[in-house]
Amino acid sequence: MEYKSEIAGKLAAITGLDKEQVESLIEIPPQLSMGDYAFPCFVLAKTLHKAPPLIASEIASSEELKIEGVSVSCAGPYINFSISREILAGSVIRDILEAGESYGKDSIGEGKTVIVEYSSPNIAKPFHVGHAFTTILGNSISRIYSKLGYNVQRFNHLGDYGTQFGKLITAYRLWGDEKALEEDPIKELLRIYVKFHEEAKTEPSLEDDARENFRKLEEGSEAEVALWQRFRDVSLEVFKKTYDRMGVEFDNYNGESFYSSRIPAVVEALEQKGLLEESEGAKVVKLDDEGLPPCIVLKSDGTTIYASRDLAAAIYRYENYKFDKNIYVVGLPQQLHFKQVFAVLKKMGYGFADNCVHVGFGLVKFKDKVFSTREGNIVLLDDLINKTVEKTCEIIRNNSLARGGDMSEEQINEIAEKVGIGAVIYTYLKSGREKDIVFDWDEMLDFEGDTAPYLIYTYARTRSILRKAQEQGLAPSDGAGYSVLTGDDEYALIRSLADFKDSVKKAAASYEPFMISRQISLIARNYNRFYNNSSILNAGSDELIKARLALCEAVCDVLKSGLELLGIDVVEKM
């Protein structure tokens, strides 16, 4: 039984509030001793014209609120609910084991479409650690919304258009090396791009040539389109390797270029609504009422710009997907850009503008400043992953050697790849997304710290206990007998398991996967305390052993489900 839902139902009946509203108001008390759920009565004060503490005590004593195994008390304006440990243990573990690794799944999103746009790197540019942030965060947000039953459409809004492609075309015709492009496309494209800027300092006509090439590209001129297509294809091939390695997927790679042909219609609509104004030769939408600078739609030479492509993209997405939410996972420096785009959409009369959300994130820094890269001062994701996997390999190999060398080199590499990538992903998702991240290998690979290796290790070790039990003919008890799990450590662990589902919903509502990383980290800590203080396979009675094994299995299911929502794979042995 879902106690939260049961409690919400009774409270709704008594107060006349909506059950969903009650459910969203129910809090989890900060301390275990304060019970399992708390309902704050402030919302009722206005309608009932009474002080919240009085309301709380009246409702708490109501006969209608009685639920078997649940005791009710009040603390000031709060009504606290405590579920008896025996009953809680049974209901939580049964719930988890029934769902298995899909625990956390929900149907609240059924029939609703959510677009999550993430990654969106720029063609011909290196994939750096900032793009890794949107990729990892967006991937996790997509998984979270899918888990809650939403129809999720994953968009990669590739930066595959703009004046820089005119420059690349000019540069490639002058200095391009076909062979180098095949071998390391991004490196070659970056080389000629940098050269273009160096040469243009003394040879300004290059800029004119580039502008002309971009104009031709926009007009669909065959030769320019063919070159551009080539740059796009080779870059995307490189990006896809990284996506594969990280288990990241997309439904749609419509880049900025895709929307360029849709811009004239947007311009026409803006003109018809009288929203377009001339400003120094450019066409802009003034946003003074919103306290924002004007949004440029067409540049003075008539070419389109980043913002106009975003306007066309948002309208396209709505017309084709009728989304309930359109989420942009893009760094905080672009906050103003999205405010402007959403404001223009709103001025155009599109109600869906209110369902467009910019999900921003912080910067990526390195504690170890000497971390050198191939590309000067930007750090490439591939280099970050390689170095982390390499370091993880060393740790796993040493651990295996300490156990007498129980793993083959192949096994070590396979495990290190998963754990290393997990460590990178977790570092991005372990704190609120707007905070800056500082990479520090000692910290992120600490097997005792708040890290992916710690969580994966906890999972793998628990799996090994379950395997050992099986060898001894001991199976986790199913369906009954969990009521013996009432010790303090067991109770704390079960409570943290019980709160997992809520953490998934909260993560979705706030676009913060860290709600989940924090919860599974708490579960792992509680589990390890329980594990260190109590014996599992030598617990005394058969009944207790089997119940504890069931608890172990529940922990594995929830850890696996939670890590998967972050985009992290587990390993069975480590």
Q: Which residue is nearest to ligand ARG (CB)?
A: 159
Q: Does 310 bind ligand ARG (CB under 6 A)?
A: yes
Q: Does 163 bind ligand ARG (CB under 6 A)?
A: no
Options 15, 82, 91, 120; binder of ligand ARG; rule CB under 6 A: 120
Q: Does 113 bind ligand ARG (CB under 6 A)?
A: no
Give how far Cα 28 sits from Cα of 11, 40, 225, 317, 503, Å. 16, 11, 57, 38, 11
Q: Does 453 bind ligand ARG (CB under 6 A)?
A: no
Angle between helices 222-246 and 409-429 (to 10 degrees): 110
CB 497 within 8 A of CB 434: no
State the minimum distance, in angstroms, from the CB of residue 255 to ligand ARG.
8
Q: Which residues does residue 152 pair with via DSSP β-bridges, in sequence order?
A: 114
433: number of Cβ within 10 Å: 22
Interface stretch with ligand ARG, choices 23-31, 115-123, 188-196, 449-457 (CB under 6 A): 115-123
Give the position of tokens 């948002």.
314
Q: Please, which residue, 287 or 523, has the CB nearer to ligand ARG? A: 287
Active-site position among 50, 125, 187, 299: 125
Size of the site for ligand ARG (CB under 6 A): 9
User: Any idea what DSSP says for residue 436?
Assistant: -
Angle at Cα 400 formed by Cα 472 and Cα 468, nearest 5°? Answer: 10
State the minimum distance, in angstroms, from the CB of residue 176 to ligand ARG.
23
Q: Please, which residue, 94 or 337, has the CB nearer to ligand ARG? A: 337
Options 228, 328, 350, 459; binder of ligand ARG; rule CB under 6 A: 328
State the minimum distance, in angstroms, from the CB of residue 213 to ligand ARG.
20
- Binding letters toward ligand ARG, positions 485-524, x by CB under 6 A: ----------------------------------------
State the minimum distance, in angstroms, from the CB of residue 135 to ligand ARG.
11
Q: Does 308 bind ligand ARG (CB under 6 A)?
A: no
What distance in Å separates the CA atoms of residue 284 and residue 299, rounded to the nearest whole number? 9
What distance in Å separates the CA atoms of residue 148 and residue 111, rounded to the nearest whole number? 11
Contacts of residue 106, Cβ cutoff 8 Å, sequence gap at least 6: 147, 148, 149, 501, 504, 505
Q: Does 154 bind ligand ARG (CB under 6 A)?
A: no
Active-site position among 128, 418, 430, 505: 128
Q: Please, which residue, 254 or 519, has the CB nearer to ligand ARG? A: 254
What distance in Å separates the CA atoms of residue 523 and residue 555, rounded to the nearest whole number? 8
Give how far Cα 51 sits from Cα of 15, 40, 48, 55, 139, Å. 15, 12, 9, 6, 45
State the minimum distance, in angstroms, from the CB of residue 214 to ligand ARG.
17
Instruction: Tell me the H-state helices in 151-276.
Output: 163-175, 178-183, 185-202, 205-219, 222-246, 256-260, 263-272
State the minimum distance, in angstroms, from the CB of residue 138 to ligand ARG.
10
49 as an active site residue: the answer is no
What distance in Å separates the CA atoms of residue 452 and residue 461, rounded to the nearest whole number? 14
Q: Please, which residue, 105 or 125, has the CB nearer to ligand ARG? A: 125
Q: Does 159 bind ligand ARG (CB under 6 A)?
A: yes
Q: Does 330 bind ligand ARG (CB under 6 A)?
A: yes
Q: Please, which residue, 103 or 155, has the CB nearer to ligand ARG? A: 155
Q: Please, which residue, 59 or 116, has the CB nearer to ligand ARG? A: 116
Q: Does 122 bind ligand ARG (CB under 6 A)?
A: yes
State the minimum distance, in angstroms, from the CB of residue 305 to ligand ARG.
11
User: Any idea what DSSP says for residue 63?
Assistant: G
Q: Which residues does residue 118 pair with via DSSP β-bridges, in sequence order?
A: none
Q: Please, which residue, 103 or 338, has the CB nearer to ligand ARG? A: 338
State the minimum distance, in angstroms, from the CB of residue 161 to ligand ARG.
10
Interface stretch with ligand ARG, choices 119-127, 404-412, 445-453, 514-522 (CB under 6 A): 119-127
What distance in Å separates the CA atoms of residue 493 and residue 529, rounded to the nearest whole number? 9
Helix (H) and strand (E) counts in the chain: 23, 12
Give how far Cα 262 sits from Cα of 131, 218, 351, 531, Å. 26, 12, 20, 60
Q: Does 157 bind ligand ARG (CB under 6 A)?
A: yes
Active-site position among 131, 387, 501, 505: 131
128 as an active site residue: the answer is yes
State the minimum distance, in angstroms, from the CB of residue 364 to ligand ARG.
14
Q: For residue 502, which of 557, 558, 450, 426 has the smallest C-alpha distance?
A: 558
19 as an active site residue: the answer is no
196-225: b (≥16 Cβ within 10 Å) or e: beeebeeeeebbebbbebbbbbbeeeeebb
Q: Please, which residue, 239 or 459, has the CB nearer to ligand ARG? A: 239
Site of interaction with ligand ARG (CB under 6 A): 117, 120-122, 157, 159, 310, 328, 330
Catalytic residues: 125, 128, 131
